Every structure is written in C-alpha cells, then in structure tokens.
Amino acid sequence: MRGSPHEGWGDLGDKRRILREAGLFEGGARGTRMRLGIVVNPDAGLGGKLGFKGSDGRAAEARAAGAEDRAGPRMEQCLNHLATLAASSLNRTDVALTLVGWTGRMGSTWAESALGTDRLNGEWIGETPSQTSHSDTTALVAALVEAGVEGIVYAGGDGTTRDIVNALEDLGKEAQKIALIGVPGGVKMHSGCFATTPKAAAEVVLAFALGDLRTAITEVMDLDEVVYQEGVWKVRMYGEAWTPSSPRFMQGAKEQVERVSEEDTIEGLAHHVATLLEDEPDLMVIWGSGGTLRRMGEHLDLSLTLLGIDIQHGETVHTDLNEATLLEVISGHVDEHQHPRPLLLLLSPMGGQGFLIGRGNLQLSPAVLRAIGHDNILGVATPSKLIGLEAVRIDTGDDDLDTEFQTKRFIKILQGFRTTRLIRVAEM
C-alpha cells in the first residue's frame, strides 16, 4: 500500500483532498472525472423477510429458505438512476464517473445495466470470490483506496458499514476521509451514512460529484448484540465516518430516545389499544418492532418480540413472524364470505430518522403491506419521539407502493390515549 492512498491524483485530486479535510469539498470542474468505489455485500438483507434480525453468518440458511438478493438489486437501482442523472441536464458541468470495484456479486454484476456512456463507465480491479465474508469487504476497501477513489458507494446494512469504516481506520487518516454513501440494503440501518432510498443515494452521488454538498462526520451506529441477547434493545455508536451532508436525501443516525417520565404516556398508548380491542373483539393487531411497542405490550400482558413482528388475535399471539407466515395469518383473517375481518398494523417510527417502514421491519414486504392496506396502518409515537419529526419516511422496496403512500400524503399517528395526529409522508 502506498504511503498516501491518494498519491497520483494530480492537481484536481489534491484540491479535493484539501477541501475535504476542511469539510468543504467543492468538485464540479467542467469535464472532470470522479473515481467512485463500489462495494456490495451480497448477503446483506437476505434474512429480512424471513424475520432474521441480521444476515451475518446466516446467508446460506436464508438462501436455502428461499431468500432473494436484496443489497445487489438495490445497488443496481441506484446506479441505473445515477446513469440517468449523469446523462441529464442536472449534470450541469458534464462531470463523468468511473465506477471502481470487483467483478461479480460485490460489484460489476449490479453495474452492467448502468454502464456504457462517456459519463459513467467501469474499472474492475479484482474478482469477487465464490464465497464472501467481511474479510473480503476489508480487502475490497483496501483495493479501492489503493486505486485512488474519492468516494465509496456501498450496499448493505449496519454490519457492512462497520466493516468498511474499520477497514478505512486501519488504512490511516487519509483513507478515513473518503466519503461514504450507503445504499440501504440490509436488515438494520441505524447509521447516518445511508441515503433514504437507492434513488436518493444516486442523487447524493451526483450532487457530491458536482461539488454541491459538503462532507461532514456522521455516527456509525449498530445494535449492541451482547445486550440484545439478554433481551435488551440498545443502539450504540461504533465509530465515525465522513459522508455528504444532505438532510433531504441522507437519513441521519438513529436516536435512542428513552425517558422514564414517558412511562405514563406508554401506558396511555397501551390503554388506547386495549379500548380498541374491547370495542371490536374480532380485531387482529399486528405489532411492529421496536421498544415503544414492546413496552406497550407489557401493559397488556403481552410478551412481544423486540425486533420482530407479532400478531395478536383474541387470546392467540403469533410471535416473530416472517413474510410467509404473516401472509398466511393475514389471508386467513376473513369471514365465511371471504371478506376481510378487522385488522390493524401498529408501527413506531425510528427515532431521529423517521422511518416507519423499511428499517428493521423487512418482514413487512410489499405483498404483506398490500394485504394489510394503507387505511389499516396506525403509527405510534411518544411526544419526545415526535419532536422535530415533520414527516415519516417509507421505503417499501417497491416504487409503485412507495408512490401510493406518498399519494395518500398522510399517516395517522397515535401519541396518547385517544389522541392522534396526521403526519406527512416524506417524498423520497
């Protein structure tokens, strides 16, 4: 490895490096070319619909159960949109991009459909091994730094983020300043490196290449696996990374808002649900993931799954359901004429990010959400979680379904006993 990962950049590269160190990256000189690293964790997100809480060490199990690639197709969606943007009038200075990476599932497989123009081409500097692990991510990042990339676009989840950040830390201070743009493709995505959607990631890449975005330090977050094994949900900070600063397109890091004084509010929220069940005994309640809903369940003598999806119907509780079992239970909730019986999905937005769907609840696939119906979804949040939350974000993985939610414009949020408000669905 060279003493500086950016040796040989020339004057433009030196200028960008100096500006990036100051958090003032300006790029965008007419006709310039940016080298952009591509990293795909082919196993990320595989366990989402199956109800796994992550895919680390369980990729083979997930594929055997019928899981399909998630991170790769999401990267493909990002790069196809990037190709469209690069060829449009939005690319006002004719900046060109060279995608640098490995051939195969960690790179070129998902870029092929986007390449072929002067403004977007590929440079493949290695080959994806037949079996991949976090060590391959580390090796690929080292190769990208050696190749002089100015930013890295990656598809995966929090585990992938940690692997990339750790690799950059091992390569020195210069490497740590390479900007990271995450394409949300995992099960857990708490870190501030992620764009809100694959298309949003493409928007960030072009704006970054044009020099319209400054880079800033964001927190690298992930679930504390040790305490989770003890039944405690806690997100902790594992490091920092540089990423383009875009409040519209970047999700920000997850906040964990916990206040003892809110226990009365939690009890009131639970009482509201209990009242609904008293009024309609045939109501089937689908409990989303997260600490708020779990604490509500405790007030109803329910032992709910912390990071899973549960269904309550009368005295029966189905716990930690995957996509297939959710569809099975929901489809069976019909009367003798096959008409749907009462149904309610409870979801709590992710603190600090505002995601209602698409982060940590991939079991709620487009098929499941369509079976439930938009009008049967109720958000649940305490007042502190709603502070500064102007809109909720929804990333179902299906563009048409995302548009349907955005067309509806609003989601109802329960914030106390018999107290609801409408909150806007963000355009992403």
Regarding whether 371 and 314 lie in a shared domain, the answer is yes
- The pLDDT confidence band at residue 192, using thresholds 50, 70 and 90, is confident
Query: Cα torsion at 287, 62, 185, 412 (round to 10°)?
Result: -10
Regarding whether 268 and 199 lie in a shared domain, the answer is no
We report the CATH number of the domain holding residue 28 as 3.40.50.10330
Regarding whether 271 and 175 lie in a shared domain, the answer is no
Regarding whether 308 and 216 lie in a shared domain, the answer is no
pLDDT at 25: 42
Query: For residues 79 and 12, what is the distance between their CA atoms, to the nearest angstrom?
Result: 24
* Over residues 136-142, mean pLDDT: 94
**Full domain range(s) for residue 359:** 260-425
The verdict on residue 90 lying in a domain is yes
The verdict on residue 224 lying in a domain is yes
- DSSP for 96-158, please give it: EEEEEEEESTTTGGGTGGG--BTTEEEEEEEE--SS--HHHHHHHHHHHHHTT-SEEEEEE-H
The verdict on residue 358 lying in a domain is yes
Instruction: Give me 393's structure tokens.
Output: 């974000």
The verdict on residue 189 lying in a domain is yes
The verdict on residue 190 lying in a domain is yes
Nearest to 379 by CA among 392, 390, 366: 392
Structural domain ending residue among the three candidates 217, 244, 271: 244
Q: Are strands 284-287 and 310-313 parallel, antiparallel or unpaired?
A: antiparallel
- The pLDDT confidence band at residue 267, using thresholds 50, 70 and 90, is confident
H or E, element range at 412: strand 410-416
Instruction: Answer yes or no: are the C-beta atoms of 98 and 38 closer than 8 Å.
Output: no
- What's the maximum distance between 2 C-alpha atoms anywhere in the chain? 75
* Over residues 386-402, mean pLDDT: 85
Structural domains in the chain (count): 2
pLDDT at 21: 46
The verdict on residue 166 lying in a domain is yes
Query: For residues 386 and 406, what is the distance between their CA atoms, to the nearest angstrom?
Result: 19
pTM exceeds cut of 0.85:
no
Regarding whether 288 and 207 lie in a shared domain, the answer is no
Query: For residues 167 and 141, what is the distance between their CA atoms, to the nearest angstrom?
Result: 7
C-alpha distance from residue 297 to each of 263, 293, 317, 345, 360 (Å): 13, 6, 11, 14, 19
Nearest to 74 by CA among 200, 165, 188, 164: 200
Regarding whether 298 and 218 lie in a shared domain, the answer is no
Regarding whether 271 and 229 lie in a shared domain, the answer is no
The verdict on residue 150 lying in a domain is yes
Regarding whether 170 and 38 lie in a shared domain, the answer is yes
Query: For residues 240 and 221, what is the distance between their CA atoms, to the nearest angstrom?
Result: 9
Instruction: Give me 79's structure tokens.
Output: 């790069």
Beta bridge partners of 313: 284, 316
* Over residues 225-243, mean pLDDT: 57
